[in-house]
Structures are given as structure tokens and as C-alpha cells.
Structure 1
Amino acid sequence: MKNNHSEIFTPGSIIGIMGGGQLGRMTALAAANLGYRCHIYTDEINTPAAQVSEQVTIASYEDIEALTQFAETVDVITYEFENIPLSTANLLSQLKVLRPSPSVLAISQHRAYEKDFAIQNGVRVAPYKAIKGIDDLEPAVEMLGTPCVLKTCRFGYDGKGQIKINSFDEIEPAWNQLCGHDLVLEKFIKFEREISVIVARDVNHHTKVYQPVENRHVNHILDTTIVPANITEKTTNLATTMSLMLANSLNLIGLLAVEMFVMEDESVIMNEIAPRPHNSGHWTQDGSQTSQFEQFVRAITGQPLGETGMIRPITMKNLIGNAIDQVPVFFNDSNAKIHLYGKAEVRPGRKMGHINIITKN
């Protein structure tokens, strides 16, 4: 495996980004501002990231020949989403420096492994049970109680791949919808609010933490992020400590977003992690000393991390589906900073862009 822990890549180097979505797009734009060039690897045509990058390879994420040729053209590789095959990450890490490492990807792309890792490191999660077959499900529901949520261990985001079970009568229908995948059953917990924290960690193990933000979802999709979060100092400290501990335990080089539930007693429970820029971090583009995308580029190239202080309160609003039609209104608002993703097709539930709205408090 290539040395993944100390090598520094100077401006002018080429960053390979696995994935062509909006996170790759905004990472590529930040990289260009720092003097880096980007080569996007994606299995789709006309992707948001490819529109703003110097090079693009369009091929399957399991095409060994294409992956090898791609690696030959870049200096360091990263990924903008977790759903690339682990075998692909392992191959790329043999050819070039891959940050974050395949071991980080292996944990973060599988819900059960993610929760196991959290428990092993003293991080509180909702009670859960790995489900291998239908015979595991009813005893697990009995153990955890209803309501509970059956989730796929992989490929789940924005509410996809999960079904709430409210009674024993719903066990078999839930299984029929999700069987064929690794599954995990989670106890449904009541919480006060959802927050997230983003941590950056560099090749020298230095860390920078963005302050906790409050996230509000509509139909399981992030709708609004409010900065700063309306939480106590106790919760802030617990959330920050948890996030730093996870990043250090993973031996992360890059970014780690940690989603959490805030409980009535002000404690926090980890929901899930993502080793990349995160939707809830978009506010940093217009409200922080260093955007999460610039920070990500700094971390993976071995450069010093930027400061993460909030320079002004922000409310981030996702433009989902037809909400993109509201953009003309925001052009007339001097407090609205518009970020569009260049997606040609509008679909329900599809993130088309976001608006960072500068607020007074």
C-alpha cells in the first residue's frame, strides 16, 4: 500500500476524485482556488463535478483497466461518497495515496460496522441488532421493542433503504422489501433535535473542529441547517469530544462528519458518520473562516488546516426538486448566497443546489 500518512502534495498536483456529484464539484472548485487540478472518475455522463474539472473518466467503479489508467494520471485520490466498492478503494490505494484510507471507508459504508466501531470506542449509539436472516428479525424486534427501524447496511441515504416497524404484523412486509441486503435493526429513539459536527484531521494528526449545527429534515432529506445550533455548552462539549475521538480512532486523514441526536438530558447519541464533505457543512462556504471543501483539500494534500471559526450566522436551505424555481427570488436578496449544482434534470427529492442565508442571530 502507498504511504498514506505523511506525503505532501503541492499546488499543481492532480487530485483524483471518485464520484461526480455536487460534493465532488465543490471540492474541485475549492481545489482550483488553491492551485490544484482535478480528475473526476464517475460512472455517469455530464456530472456536476465533471463540469468544473480538468479531466473526467467515465467508467464503471469496478473497471480495473480504467481505474488503473485513472490512477496513473493523478497524484492523490479521494472520494466524494461512500458507495464505491471497497475492492476498488483497495486497488487504488495500492497504486496511489488514497485519503481517507480504505479502512475508514470499510467502516463508514456499512451501518453495522459503523455502530460496532462506535461501541468499541465508547461512543453511545441507539440500541441495534445485526440481521442476517428472517429468523433473526422477530427476536430482534422483541428485544428492542417497537417502534424500531429496519435499515440496509449499505447504500442508504436520504431515507432510502429503511422501514419503520410499528408492530409485529409489519415484520414480514419490511423483510420482504429489504431482504437480499445486509440489514441492521435499530430501536426508534425520541430525541430533541438533530445536530452534526465536522472534524478535519491532517497528516500530522492535527485537528480542527467546526461548531455543531442543527439539522432539520423533510421526508428524511436534509432541508435546513441552522448555525449556530440551539444547544447547551454541555451538549456542544459532548458532541465535539465524540467527533474528535472518532476521527482519531479512525486515524483519519480528511474530513469526518458525525450526525447525532440530542437527547432530553442534553446528552448525544451518534447516528452515522461520513468521511467526506457533508451537506450539513455547506454553511461553511459563506459563514466560516475556511469552507469544508477547502479544508478537505488541505487535509488530503498534506497542507496545514485552516481555522474553523464562524464569521457570521448562516441558515443553509437545500433546493430540492422544484424548489430550484425559487432561485430568481434569491438573486434579489443580498443576504442569500446561491450555490447551484449544474444538474440538468429536476426530480422529486433531488438536491439541485443550496442557498446560504446570512442571518443576524
Structure 2
Amino acid sequence: MATLPLPPGSTLGILGGGQLGRMLALAAARLGFDVAVLERDADSPAGRVAAHTIVGAYDDPAALEQLAAVAQVVTFEFENVPADSVLKLQSLGVEVAPGPEALAVAQDRIAEKQFLNASGAPTVAFSAADTAEEAVAATAAMGAPVLMKTRREGYDGKGQRWVEHAADAAAAFTELGGVPVILEAPADFVRELSIIAARGRDGATAVYPLAENHHEGGILRRSLAPAQVSEDLAFQAEKIAARILKGLNYVGVVGIELFELKDGTLLVNEIAPRVHNTGHWTQDGCAADQFEQHIRAVAGWPLAPTVPHARVEMLNLLGDEAEAWSKLAHEPDTRIHLYGKRDPKPGRKMGHVNKLKAL
């Protein structure tokens, strides 16, 4: 088992080699850690800035054994890591954070909603359906329109369909692959917000100011932070975050997406047991960003302050938008973060910029 707090010079493992893994690896390096990345792609964004890259599937026993041989603590950059992989690493004596309970909740949208409601974190009304017939019946019972999502996987607007009439539910179910789904009632919200929160191994917590988020086609386009919110709204969000962190016995950073309703109350849309796109503003808006905070938490270090020193507009660079790097580099208040991805497909997140403004 690892000696905690993890001393500099130790190796921290990351399951996943995408942009979040890359930024986690860079933050870990600043704190003196080496990083080992387990990723299927030998030329991954995270692997190219890590000390070690282990090429293999996330559930490959041999690859997991290689990771366990070099890493004292392991974390992950996305929530669809197989739960058995976490259990395998733990059986090999490796600390994994966040733990399997957080993964189990985040990987199944029904389990997620049930956990949130049981923790006192309100959500929209929802129903489960395992067959096309159940989907039709649930839509009729809830009343259309409803948002149908696959219970597992799906991100950036993928794996979901709006159902405008109960008669359309069977076709939507088939279009989503005929797999178990969740049906969600629409939220009559005025804006989308999010809160990035962290919990250390000692139970200490830290929260960043709320961000206001704007999506296009199911993909986050920009975040504004700190968001202009009332003290009451901020308190609501912090209370929700505290309940989630405690309920999961969480270690690390979590992203919590929220709907602000017309009456000033909040609903939780979903949680992500990892660093989050809506927290990228912290890289240039706070002394310690969400990536360093996550590394500190999983390594057993004290959490860092979350006080902002600038207002930030974070803009995702999608597809060939990252090719404007030269123009962006001439903007004095713009900070560029490129992910090193080779193929700029339409809608693919290739990087982001943080545009700084005075608080």
C-alpha cells in the first residue's frame, strides 16, 4: 500500500490518455510526481507528457499489473473505466481514488439519480425503461416531452433523444441501440451552472465559485466564472456538493452540473467523478486549479485555496478552431491550452482558451 501523503518522486497512475489526463499529468509533474498513463493509444495526449505509457485496454489484466508495479496511487480521467479494473488494482495493493462507489453511481444514470435524491440533492423526475414497450409506457405516464438517455455511457450530447410524443418512444429506444434507458422530465431552467468541488483523504472539502455554462449541440461551448449568483444560490450549490462528497466518501475533484430554476432553486443534472470541462477556467482564474487540486486530494496532500483572482471566459476550441492559435496568441488577455490531438474532427475538443478579465 502507498505511504500517504504521497511524497514527491512517487509515481501516480492515470487511467485514460485524453486531454483531462494530459492536464492532470502536467499538474502532477509540477508537484514533483512522475506519471504513468494506461491508454489504448500509444500516441495519446496524456502519454506524450507522462514519464511512462502503458499501452493496453483499461480492463487488460497484464496492463493493470504493469500499472500497479510502477504506481503507488491511481486515478482516472473519465467515468467509464470498468469497475473491475479498479477492483483489480486495489487487489494488487494500489490506492485508487475516487473509489469504486463513485464510479458505480456515475456510470448508471438511474443509480446516479437515486443516489442524488437519497442524499438530498434534488433532480428532475425520471423513470427507467429496459424495453421499447416500457419506454412507451413510461413516456405516457410521465407526459411528453421527455429526454431519453442511455443508462450507461454517452457524453457531449451523444446517447440521448428528445421524445415529443409517447408514440415516438419505441423508435427513439431503437435509435439509442435498444439498451436500457432513463427518461427525464424537462427542466424549466433559466441557466445552466456547475460547481467544482474537492474532498481530501482527511475529509476536508474545498469548492470553487460557480460557473455559468452555455452548450451548443450538446457540447459545452463556453463557461463564465465566477458566475454572477446570489449568496443564497451559492450556498445551495455548496450544500449540494457537500452532501454528494460525503455520501460517496469521495476523494478527489468532482464536477456537478446544475439547473437554476425560475424560483431560484437548483436541480442537479449530473455528476462527473473527475476533473471537469466547466472547471478549466480555474487554470488561469485561481492560484491552484482543479487539476492540481485533484492531484493533491488523491495523493493525500492538503487541499489548496479556491479563491479566484480573475474573471474568466473559457471557450472550447472545436475541430479546426484550434488552428487559430497564432491569432489567439496575439491576444494579451488570452491563455491558450491545446491538447496535442492529431486529428481535428468536427465537434472534437482540440483545446480551450481562457480569456481573463478583472474581478
Sort the TM-score into its range (normalised by shorter chain).
over 0.9
Cα deviation for residue 181 of structure 1 reads 2.3
Superposition deviation, residue 57 in structure 1: 0.6
Work out whether residues 232 and 266 of structure 1, in 8 Å CA contact, stay in contact via their aligned partners in 2. no
Q: Deviations over 1:63-84 (max 9, x none)?
A: 1122112211111000000111
CA deviation string 1:169-217 (max 9, x = no partner): 3212101112442211111122100011011111110011101110100
2:97 aligned residue: 99
Unaligned runs of 5+ in 2: none
Query: Using the alignment, how far apart are the partners of 2:181 and 2:211 within structure 1?
Result: 29
Q: Which residue among 6, 9, 19 is the counterpart of 2:6?
A: 9
Q: Which amino acid aligns with 2:136?
A: E
Say which SS state the counterpart of residue 189 (structure 2) adopts: coil
Match among 293, 308, 319 for residue 321 of structure 1? 319
Cα distance in 2 for partners of 1:257, 1:165 equals: 27
Corresponding residue for residue 288 of structure 1 = 286
Q: Quick one: which amino acid aligns to residue 285 of structure 1?
A: Q
Tell me the amino acid that sits aligned with residue 63 of structure 2. Answer: A
> Which residue number corresponds to residue 142 of structure 1?
140
State the distance in 2 between where 1:89 and 1:292 align.
22
Whether the 8 Å CA contact 2:38–2:63 is kept in 1: the answer is no
Shift of 1:43: 1.1
The residue aligned with 1:225 is 223
**Identical positions, percent:** 38
Q: Which residue of 1 aligns with 2:351?
A: 353
TM-score (norm 1): 0.97
Paired residues of 2:132 and 2:174 also in contact (CA < 8 A): no
- Counterpart among 317, 320, 343 of residue 341 in structure 2: 343
- How far residue 94 of structure 1 moved from its aligned partner, in angstroms, is 1.6
The answer as to whether partners of 1:140 and 1:185 remain within 8 angstroms in 2 is: yes
- Which amino acid in the other structure matches residue 241 of structure 1? K
Matched, 1:113 2:111: yes
The answer to whether structure 1 residue 61 and structure 2 residue 58 are counterparts is: yes
Displacement of 1:45 in angstroms is 2.6
User: Which moves more between the two structures, 61-70 or 271-280?
Assistant: 61-70
Query: Does the 8 Å contact 1:210/1:309 carry over to 2?
Result: yes
Match of 1:87 in 2: 84
Asked if the contact 1:90/1:102 (under 8 Å) is kept, the reply is: yes
Q: Secondary structure at the match of 1:298?
A: helix
CA contact under 8 A between 1:212 and 1:240: conserved in structure 2?
A: no
Q: Secondary structure at the match of 2:212?
A: strand
Q: CA deviation at 1:296?
A: 0.6
The count of corresponding residues between Structure 1 and Structure 2 is 358
Is the contact made by 2:37 and 2:50 (CA closer than 8 Å) also made in structure 1? Answer: yes
Q: State which of 239, 257, 260 in structure 2 corresponds to 1:259.
A: 257
Tell me the amino acid that sits aligned with residue 227 of structure 2: A
Question: Which one of 5, 11, 20 corresponds to residue 23 of structure 1?
Answer: 20
Q: Is the 8 A contact 1:339 1:353 kept in 2?
A: yes
- Contact 1:93/1:101, CA 8 A, preserved across alignment: no
CA distance in 2, matches of 1:120, 1:349: 36
Does the residue aligned with 1:192 lie in a helix, a strand or coil? strand
Check conservation: 2:132, 2:178, Cα contact below 8 A.
no
2:74 matched residue in structure 1: 77
Q: Partner amino acid for 2:210?
A: P
In the TM superposition, residue 325 of structure 1 has moved relative to its aligned partner by: 2.3
Matched, 1:47 2:44: yes
Identify the residue that residue 274 of structure 1 maps to in structure 2. 272
Task: Measure the CA separation in 1 of the matches of 2:301 and 2:231.
Answer: 31
Backbone CA RMSD of aligned residues: 1.3
Letter matched to residue 101 of structure 1: G
State whether residues 284 and 290 of structure 1, in contact with CA within 8 Å, keep that contact through their aligned partners in structure 2: yes
Shift of 1:295: 0.5
Amino acid corresponding to residue 277 of structure 1 in structure 2: V
- Matches of 1:154 and 1:7 in 2, distance apart? 33
Map 1:208-247; keep pairs closer than 5 Å. 208-247=206-245
Residue 135 of structure 1 and its aligned partner are, at CA, apart by 2.2
1: CA distance, partners of 2:252 / 2:90: 15
